[in-house]
Amino acid sequence: MAGGATGGSSGAETCPGVPVTFQIVPDPNAVIDWCMGTPGGCSLGLDLSDDSGELRLSNLCTLDCATCEPTDCLSIFCLGPEVLGPEGMTLNWDGFRFAQSTCGALADTCARRDCAAPGRYTIEICGFPNPSLDADYPCAGASASPETCLTVEFTYPAPEPIVVTMPNP
């Protein structure tokens, strides 16, 4: 999500309005370290939605509407959950999303890069207490604690950062 998605064609290099900045911070009284994401997963546990449902922010494993050609589907690296340190983390969404469309003589389903409309959105942010005692391998291993997910509503464009505080479990 950082920096937004790439690929496709919208004819625009930037979306109108300012990028949305999400500042995810731990509760100042937290006695645990948060791992952002799903235990054993390959993402930071962030889902962005509008009234119609979850927004698609990448164009992997689909046809690109601009070329009607398949996009890269290989993901060699699994980023996995990331430790939320005391300074927190900042993520930016540039307003781009991928909408379903069609291309070619057979009207194949493809993903078209375009700007999200101004309006109300939600972001779901998930994390779990760090199960690892090894500083070299943070967030590794099974968590005995359940995942905690927070849903935050915001208006796009959002000129001010949206601060999300992970609670003290």
Q: What is the per-residue pLDDT across 118-159, written as a single tens digit (0 to 9) for each? A: 999 999 999 999 888 777 888 877 777 788 999 999 999 998
What does the radius of gyration of the chain's CA atoms come to, in whole angstroms?
Answer: 18
**Single pTM value for the model:** 0.79
Query: Cβ distance 8 to 71 under 8 Å?
Result: no
Q: Average the pLDDT over 90-110 and give the result.
A: 92
Query: Dihedrals φ, ψ of 107, to 5°?
Result: 50, 50
Distance CA 98, CA 112 (A): 5
